[in-house]
């Protein structure tokens, strides 16, 4: 529509000239010029490269100027309009300047419109995402309030059960289970927790797993002390460990090795030996997507996932 408007406007302004009124070649060329320029500008604006809008504007408008010049040259071969312009302007250099000037004006006008439309679309998209996030947050809070009674009752019951048991191993297991529930209750409303708190929780969770699988799970943790105050989404390690256990064979003859360590002062890495089960049962399959989505919403970052014949590795950013 914008291209058609520009073409009609140019045609109306030339109606007073006999040579322009007799031919539709110029308005058609103007329409094609504006149409091609518009699609070039759209492509440049949507270009997913680390280039700011200033450089995009220069590139788009420069392309529009080139399109204007090339279309005029092509059109002149069939209509003879170049000769008439040369008579009016007395020089090809002046023609070139006029063509480049026309491309500059049209390109600048179209880029300004495209930029405003792009900013409006981004603003609407951000508003929709914020509204969706608010809705999901309210739904999550409502679910937590509805389920609050049951976890507290279970946590208190575990404390009572531990006081009734005298054997060391069962008491230790109950204690670790209580620590897991204490962590979940304390941080259920928190978006981020310190790495040290997450490691303490993970230690309790691993104790429970090792009571179940015994020597079939082997873990190694190497985390730099200076990074223990960094933050990450709640229960990230638990989800990654649970994912490893669910999708791999875990036996004493073929133990599951889990390595937790930090690299480059900004990444927490969880790597496990890879021997996939033939069939995974009782698996929601959303552990990794859950972590990825929380990082995207909370920090605008992505997690790293790599797989080889022997290892499955996930890297998550440590936040300040």
Chain segment 162-175, per-residue pLDDT in tens: 666 777 777 788 77
pLDDT higher for 197 or 138? 197
* Distance spanning both ends of the chain, measured CA to CA: 49
On the 0-12 / 13-18 / 19+ scale of CB atoms within 10 A, 79 is: middle
> 171-179: long-range contacts (C-beta < 8 A, 24 or more apart)?
172/207, 173/207, 173/208, 173/211, 176/204, 176/205, 176/207, 176/208, 177/204, 177/208, 179/204
Query: Which range (183-197, 236-250, 280-294) has the least confidence?
Result: 280-294
Does the pLDDT of residue 300 top 60, yes or no? yes
Position 153 scores a pLDDT of 56
Does the pLDDT of residue 306 top 60, yes or no? yes
pLDDT tier, 312 (very low <50, low <70, confident <90, very high otherwise): very high
> 55-61: long-range contacts (C-beta < 8 A, 24 or more apart)?
57/111, 57/115, 60/107, 60/111, 61/103, 61/104, 61/107, 61/108, 61/111
> Mean pLDDT across the chain, nearest whole number?
75
In the predicted model, what is the mean pLDDT of residues 185-201?
84
CB 61 within 8 A of CB 40: no
Residues sharing a CB contact under 8 Å with residue 162, sequence separation 6 or more, in sequence order: 171, 174, 175, 178
Q: What is d(CA 215, CA 217) in angstroms, rounded to the nearest whole number?
A: 5
Position 50 scores a pLDDT of 55
Does the pLDDT of residue 88 top 60, yes or no? no
Query: Which range (71-75, 101-105, 179-183, 239-243) has the least confidence?
Result: 71-75
Position 74 scores a pLDDT of 67
Q: φ and ψ at 166, to 5 degrees? A: -100, -30
pLDDT tier, 107 (very low <50, low <70, confident <90, very high otherwise): confident
Position 18 scores a pLDDT of 44
On the 0-12 / 13-18 / 19+ scale of CB atoms within 10 A, 289 is: exposed
Position 25 scores a pLDDT of 53
Residues sharing a CB contact under 8 Å with residue 241, sequence separation 6 or more, in sequence order: 202, 205, 206, 209, 258, 270
Position 64 scores a pLDDT of 76
Position 11 scores a pLDDT of 47
| Angle (nearest 5°) at CA 280 between 274 and 282 | 130
Does the pLDDT of residue 270 top 80, yes or no? yes
Does the pLDDT of residue 55 top 60, yes or no? yes
The residues pairing with 316 across neighbouring beta strands, listed in sequence order, are 268
Identify the DSSP state of 309.
S
Q: What is d(CA 22, CA 53) in angstroms, rounded to the nearest whole number?
A: 42
| HSE value, Cβ hemisphere, 13 Å, CA-based, for 274 | 11
Measured in whole angstroms, the distance separating CA 60 from the mean position of its chain's CA atoms is 26
Give the relative orientation of helices 92-146 and 2-13 as an angle to the nearest 10 degrees: 150
286: helix, coil or strand? Answer: coil
Does the pLDDT of residue 87 top 50, yes or no? no
Position 17 scores a pLDDT of 47
Q: What pLDDT digit, counting tens, does each position of 206-244 carry?
A: 988 888 888 899 999 999 999 999 999 988 998 999 999
Q: What is d(CA 113, CA 259) in angstroms, rounded to the nearest whole number?
A: 53
How far, CA to CA in Å, does 132 sit from each of 116, 123, 127, 300? 24, 14, 9, 16
Best-predicted range by mean pLDDT among 7-21, 63-77, 148-162, 257-271? 257-271
Position 269 scores a pLDDT of 96
Query: Which range (18-27, 166-175, 227-236, 276-285) has the least confidence?
Result: 18-27
Which has the closest alpha carbon to 6: 103, 80, 97, 115? 103
Position 143 scores a pLDDT of 60
pLDDT tier, 318 (very low <50, low <70, confident <90, very high otherwise): very high
């Amino acid at each position: 529509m914008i291209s058609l408007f520009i073409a009609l406007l140019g045609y109306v302004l030339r109606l007073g000239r006999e040579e322009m009124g007799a031919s539709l070649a110029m308005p058609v060329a103007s329409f094609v010029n504006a149409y091609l320029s518009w699609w070039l500008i759209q492509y440049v604006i949507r270009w997913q490269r680390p280039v700011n809008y200033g450089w995009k504007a220069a590139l788009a408008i420069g392309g529009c100027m080139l399109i204007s010049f090339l279309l005029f040259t092509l059109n002149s071969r069939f209509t003879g309009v170049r000769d008439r312009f040369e008579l009016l302007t007395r020089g090809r250099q002046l023609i070139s300047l006029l063509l480049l000037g026309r491309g500059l004006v049209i390109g600048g006008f179209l880029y300004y419109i495209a930029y405003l439309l792009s900013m409006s679309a981004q603003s609407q998209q951000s508003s929709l995402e914020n509204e969706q996030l608010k809705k999901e947050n309210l739904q999550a809070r409502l679910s937590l309030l509805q389920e609050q009674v049951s976890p507290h009752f279970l946590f208190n019951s575990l404390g009572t059960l531990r006081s009734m048991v005298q054997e060391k191993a069962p008491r230790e297991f109950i204690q670790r289970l209580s620590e897991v529930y204490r962590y979940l209750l304390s941080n259920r409303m928190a978006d981020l927790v310190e790495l040290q708190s997450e490691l303490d929780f993970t230690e309790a969770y691993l104790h429970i797993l090792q009571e179940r699988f015994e020597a079939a799970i082997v873990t190694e943790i190497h985390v730099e002390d200076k990074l223990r105050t960094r933050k990450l989404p709640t229960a990230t390690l638990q989800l990654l460990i649970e994912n490893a256990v669910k999708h791999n064979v875990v036996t004493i003859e073929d133990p599951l090795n889990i390595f937790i360590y930090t690299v480059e002062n900004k990444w927490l890495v969880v790597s496990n030996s890879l021997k996939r089960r033939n069939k995974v049962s009782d698996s929601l399959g959303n552990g990794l997507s859950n972590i990825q989505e929380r990082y995207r919403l909370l920090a605008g970052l992505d997690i790293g996932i790599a797989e080889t014949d022997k290892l499955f590795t996930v890297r998550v950013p440590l936040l300040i």
